[in-house]
């Protein structure tokens, strides 16, 4: 088996020593090339080339941003069609970031050494699973995407690159973006099949549960969402303090269904469209994609094979 290991040396939990141990372990099982990323988009370019060259396995060692780039590179030529004209390499993930939401949602160990051992076992025994992904404005996402408040938080964190992306930083940016939203709070209109358009103030789209992690604590929005179902939608009609605090408590405390008069929630959606009166920040998998006034989110089942 031919494989490529893509390492983000800037990720929180990666190190030269860890990279060497991982590369040595993988090289005992596969014919391996190792690439360290130098710039944003580098992992995407390497993964796209690997897919076009017929590589069978691409391993991402980094955070969620690295995984997202690798996934978008692997699927660059398939345009949302499972089993399309181009064979897609399998994906392996060795967590190396601060949150590692995709890996943790798959049940992979957070520790890179333990994750490496599990990956080697998966390769040896041919153990894998198919996962569905979301597709938004031409960009694949593995665990979440959104317009409004969450994307404002991501924008705030990205402005502070160089600082460790800790739970404290995200919490601080969440408070700052709530009380001083960088683009104001223009209304959003949500459209889902079979329902009347709904006006909301912020919208979160999930591809799995948890929506994210705050340190060790999972944040649950659409608890019935999984890699085997459609997309989850969690949107707030009001950003009033009581509404936000109520939903935040539920998100951190329970895996049960959220409730609230100001909450719009759907599970297992094949498609959802969100329009904004003015351009607002747009994020996928914790990476800022810029500003959009309209985004269509699609669920694409079984499009990626992951070694687990």
Instruction: Name the band, by pLDDT with cuts 50, 70 and 90, for residue 84.
Output: low
Half-sphere exposure of 119 (CA within 13 A, CB side): 31
For residue 131, give both structure tokens. 């996962």
**Whether 266 contacts 192, CB under 8 Å:** yes
Where exactly are the structural domains of the chain?
Answer: 2-126, 144-302
The CATH label, of 1.10.10.10, 3.40.50.300, 3.10.20.30, 3.40.50.10330, for the domain at 2-126 is 3.40.50.10330
Residue 88's pLDDT is 94
Question: Which of 50-64, 75-89, 158-172 is least confident?
Answer: 75-89
Torsion 223-224-227-233 (CA) sign? negative
Fold match, 2-126 / 144-302? no
Query: Which of the four CATH numbers 3.30.565.60, 3.30.1240.10, 2.60.200.40, 3.40.120.10 does domain 144-302 have?
Result: 2.60.200.40
Whole-prediction pTM: 0.94
Mean pLDDT of 108-131: 95
Closest CA to 145 of 106, 202, 198, 191: 202
For the stretch 232-275, pLDDT in tens is 999 999 999 999 999 999 999 877 789 899 999 999 999 999 99
pLDDT attached to residue 137: 95
């Amino acid at each position: 088996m031919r494989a490529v290991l893509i390492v983000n040396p800037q990720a929180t939990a990666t190190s030269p020593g860890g990279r060497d141990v991982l590369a040595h372990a993988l090289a005992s099982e596969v014919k391996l090339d190792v690439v360290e990323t130098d710039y944003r988009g580098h992992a995407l370019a390497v993964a796209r080339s690997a897919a076009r060259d017929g590589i069978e396995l691409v391993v991402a060692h980094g955070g969620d941003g690295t995984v997202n780039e690798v996934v978008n590179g692997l699927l660059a030529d398939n345009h949302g069609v499972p089993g399309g004209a181009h064979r897609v390499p399998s994906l392996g993930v060795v967590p190396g970031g601060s949150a590692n939401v995709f890996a943790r949602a798959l049940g992979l160990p957070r520790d890179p050494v333990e994750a490496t051992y599990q990956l080697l076992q998966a390769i040896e025994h041919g153990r894998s699973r198919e996962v569905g992904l979301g597709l938004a404005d031409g960009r694949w996402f593995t665990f979440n995407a959104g317009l409004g408040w969450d994307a404002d938080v991501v924008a705030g964190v990205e402005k502070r690159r160089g600082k460790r992306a800790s739970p404290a930083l995200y919490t601080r940016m969440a408070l700052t973006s709530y009380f001083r939203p960088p683009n104001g709070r223009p209304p959003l209109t949500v459209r889902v099949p079979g329902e009347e358009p709904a006006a909301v103030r912020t919208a979160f789209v999930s591809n799995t549960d948890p929506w994210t992690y705050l340190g060790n604590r999972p944040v649950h929005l659409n608890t019935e969402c999984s890699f085997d179902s459609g997309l989850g939608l969690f949107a707030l009609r009001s950003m009033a303090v009581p509404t936000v605090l109520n939903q935040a408590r539920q998100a951190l405390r329970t895996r049960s269904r959220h409730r609230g008069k100001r909450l719009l929630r759907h599970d297992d959606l094949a498609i959802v469209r969100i329009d904004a009166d003015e351009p607002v920040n747009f994020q996928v998998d914790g990476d800022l994609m810029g500003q959009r006034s309209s985004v269509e989110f699609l669920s694409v089942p079984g499009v990626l094979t992951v070694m687990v």
